[in-house]
Structure 1
Amino acid sequence: MMNAIERVLAEISFRETDERPIFLQIGGLAAKLMGFPLHRYLTDAQTAAEAQYHTAHLLKNDVLFGFLDFCVEAEAMGASIAYSDSEYPSIVNPLITDWKEILSLEPPNLRRDGRMPVVLEVCERLVEKDQGEHFIIGQCLGPTTLATQIFGIENSIYLLVDNPEAFNLLLNFTTQIAKSFAQAILATGVSAVLINDPSASPNVFPKSTFNNMIFPHLKQLVNEIKTQEKDLVWLQITGKTTSILPTIHDLPVDLITLDSPVELIEAQEILNNKAVIGNINPLLFTNNNNENLLIQTQSTLAKRRKSGFILGTGCDIPFDARPERIHDFLNIVGRV
């Protein structure tokens, strides 16, 4: 019988498995399920690692997540963060308001600044505790999302229109930060690094921007962090990404998330050379009943291809998800 990491590696290689792996993207929700305050989970490596490890066993999840939230990198660079025990933290104000300020910004120190060291410690603890049973993920933000975190999403959109060269300069800077963080994450011994780049979605920037400006930075990033064959990269861009999948097809990544708005059959045909994860809508886990969850899960199971597919959510399951919906899902897929 295969363990979790063996199943995942088999799917990535388009080989047969004893059963399909499941990737429930559970971040801060693990704190709630284990009875820990969210703020403690997001700031204490031991708490986060314990919550991830025990939640994975409780829910028979094949993946452990060594990441905290989307504010880690910006906070490490000096952005003010508002914390709450009922939702993920948010950036109070953009770190910079004039793109020229990027010229004076220094990259964060991965082992000293903000909670970047916490992320690395969570990854190290999970690797040590898990002993090769689960597929362990560490997360860094993609270049476009980090740009919108430190400059603001509205400012970034206007910058693209008014000064494309400055927008490209901003992406140059954030790509280097992502590269350093991703390399440090892989050095902890995790199974893969997740480049999470929701702001690269066509829901935010046009397809032409992705193809001409965003993709070159993603390609550079992936090429520079995949220095060994064992280094695995998972790319996650949320939203309706169908229009950019032909471009993503050429990225040397190993796993790609398909969010719930994406038509699964079409996407699998386009990404015929990549293992995909999807595409259960995580908001379905917050509903009062399980009818829609049942319908979508059965539909996804019917559309999945024979290999190179991992059943999972299109992004993080919300902090206010209902535990009974997660157990409903596990019942539907026969994991109880």
Structure 2
Amino acid sequence: MNSRERIMAVLAGEKPDMTPIFPKIAFANVLACEGMTVREYMTDPKCMAAACVSAYRKFGWDGVALHTDISSEGKALGTIYEQPENTPGILKEYLLKDLSETDKVKVPDPYTTESMRTVVEAVSLVKKEIGDEAYILGWTNGPLNVAGQVYNLDELLVSLLEEPEEVHRLLEKCTEVSCAYAAAMIEAGADMIAYGHATASQNVISRDCYLEFALPYEKRLVQSIHEHGAKALTHICGNIENIVDAIAQNGSDVVDFDHVCDIDRLRERMPDKIYRGNIDPALFAMGTEGEIREAVKRLLAQKGAEEKFFLGSGCEINLNTPVGNLKAFTEAGRKYGKK
């Protein structure tokens, strides 16, 4: 099996030759390209595509992910960010000063509006170069995350309780934004769309708030992704063990889980889902190659990782991650993930 076939086998409910390796990595793809800056990666589709292809070939995993940081939708909608040379963007001014201004949120054209345009074009370039051998994942954000890009997050969270109708109005708009962006990436060649929804984590909001303000909009986003012919992945940072049964209702094909979660406990509450996770990004950045190998060995020895599983990172790979640790991760995955 090649990399693409390996991932597609798991998605089809079939047994792969080995556990697919697919860490969560976006702008840290630049680690594979000596001399490339984060700003170049974020703003030039040729650089983004080159970094993704180089990371795939250098580190030997089975899928590639195209994304900037969590500012893509916010930038496209009018929130002002500063883009340093070698770090993620820094938010400077929200689009909305008050929820009464929600009508300012207009669905942008992903083919002409930055940063969406860069990612969409990069997806197309990667598809042409390695689309037959690697699985291609595009990233958008879940509606609550998009809302937090255009309106102060602290005030948004208070508004869940004090102005729920206004929050729902904003989430309607944000869902349209995420759906449009996802559709453009699928048309460009993405096999799967992941959406980040950290604001929906039980570390941020309650289960009841998840059911009211996240799940209905996740369902619509996932439905739209499926209607456009791609698979969907849910990524919610932090602890999801107490909401994983609710996440199961959104219809996504794969669920990411962070390093604070345990695959066996997740399987108890949602047994049939395909999972991806969950080596700690801090271990990638600060651990030794031997510690990485041992962590992978332990994870793949758990019952919950025996099938319907992608070996990945718990969250985003950090820019200070040593290249040797990424290679050790793949080597261990191949050694201990054979079926």
Name the TM tier (shorter chain). Answer: over 0.9
| Separation of aligned partners in 2, 1:159 and 1:180 | 26
1:243-265: per-residue Cα shift (whole Å, max 9, x none)? Answer: 11011112211111011111110
Q: What secondary structure does 1:249 align onto?
A: helix
Q: Which residue of 2 aligns with 1:102?
A: 102
Q: CA offsets per residue over residues 164-195 of structure 1, 9 Å max, x none?
A: 11111111110111111111111112111111
- Aligned 8 A contact 1:14 1:307 in 2: no
* Structure 2 residue 271 is matched with structure 1 residue 268: no
Task: For 2:323 and 2:71, locate their aligned partners in 1 and report how far apart those are by CA, in whole Å.
Answer: 26
Please say if residues 21 and 310 of structure 2, whose CA atoms lie closer than 8 Å, have aligned partners that are also in contact.
yes
Query: Within 5 A, what are the aligned runs for 1:149-188?
Result: 149-188=149-188
1:85-96 to 2 correspondence within 5 Å? 85-96=85-96
Which residue of structure 2 lines up, in the alignment, with residue 315 of structure 1?
315
Structure 1 vs Structure 2 CA RMSD: 1.7
Contact 2:97/2:151, CA 8 A, preserved across alignment: yes
Cα deviation for residue 55 of structure 1 reads: 1.1
**CA 1:288/1:311 → structure 2, altered by over 3 Å: closer, same or farther?**
closer
CA-CA distance at 1:296 after TM superposition? 2.7
Structure 2 counterpart of 1:198, which letter?
A: A
Cross-structure match for 2:53? 53
Find the aligned partners of 1:224 and 1:331 in 2 and give their Cα distance.
36
Shift of 1:335: 6.2
SS at match of 1:14: coil
- How far residue 86 of structure 1 moved from its aligned partner, in angstroms, is 2.8
- Preserved contact between residue 207 and residue 244 of structure 1 (Cα < 8 Å): yes
SS state at 1:243 partner = coil
Paired residues for 1:11-22 under 5 Å: 11-22=10-21
* TM-superposed deviation, 1:225: 2.8
- Cα deviation for residue 73 of structure 1 reads 0.9
Q: Give, in whole Å, the separation in 2 of the partners of 1:133 and 1:293.
A: 26
Please state how far the C-alpha of 1:126 moved relative to its aligned partner: 0.7
8 Å contact kept, 2:76–2:113 = yes
Alignment of 1:238-277 (within 5 A): 238-277=237-276
Q: TM-score, normalised by structure 1?
A: 0.95
CA contact (8 A) 2:147 2:174 kept: yes
Show the 5 A alignment for 1:127-146.
Answer: 127-146=127-146
Q: Which amino acid aligns with 1:256?
A: V
Asked whether the 8 Å contact 1:259–1:278 carries over to 2, the reply is yes
Unaligned residue ranges in structure 1 (runs of 5+): none
Deviations 1:84-136 (A, max 9, x none): 23321121122212001112332222222222111110111111111311110
TM-score by length of 2: 0.94
Output one character per residue of 1:35-87: Cα deviation in whole Å (capped at 9) or x when no partner. 21110011000111011101101111111112111111111111111112332
Residue 327 and residue 231 in structure 1: after superposition, are their counterparts in 2 closer, same or farther (change >3 A)? closer
The worse-fitting range, judged by mean Cα deviation, of 25-34 and 239-248 is 25-34
Secondary structure of the residue aligned to 1:84 is coil
Contact 1:249–1:273 (CA under 8 A) maintained in structure 2: no
2 CA distance for matches of 1:286 and 1:112? 35
Counterpart amino acid of residue 3 in structure 2: A
In the TM superposition, residue 292 of structure 1 has moved relative to its aligned partner by 4.3
Which letter does structure 1 place at the counterpart of 2:51?
Answer: A
In structure 2, relative to structure 1, the CA distance for the partners of 1:172 and 1:322 (3 Å cut) is: same
* Identical-pair percentage: 22
Question: How many residue pairs are counted as aligned between the two chains?
Answer: 334
Cα separation, 2, equivalents of 1:288 and 1:307: 27
The amino acid of 1:299's aligned partner reads: R
Gaps of 5+ in 2: none
Separation in 1, partners of 2:59, 2:192: 21
CA–CA distance in 2 between the matches of 1:334 and 1:6?
15
Partner of 1:39: 39
Is the partner of 1:333 in helix, strand or coil?
Answer: helix
Q: Which residue of 2 aligns with 1:71?
A: 71
Amino acid across the alignment from 1:98: D
The answer to whether the 8 A contact 2:239-2:261 is kept is yes
Contact kept in structure 1, 2:74 and 2:149, CA below 8 Å: yes
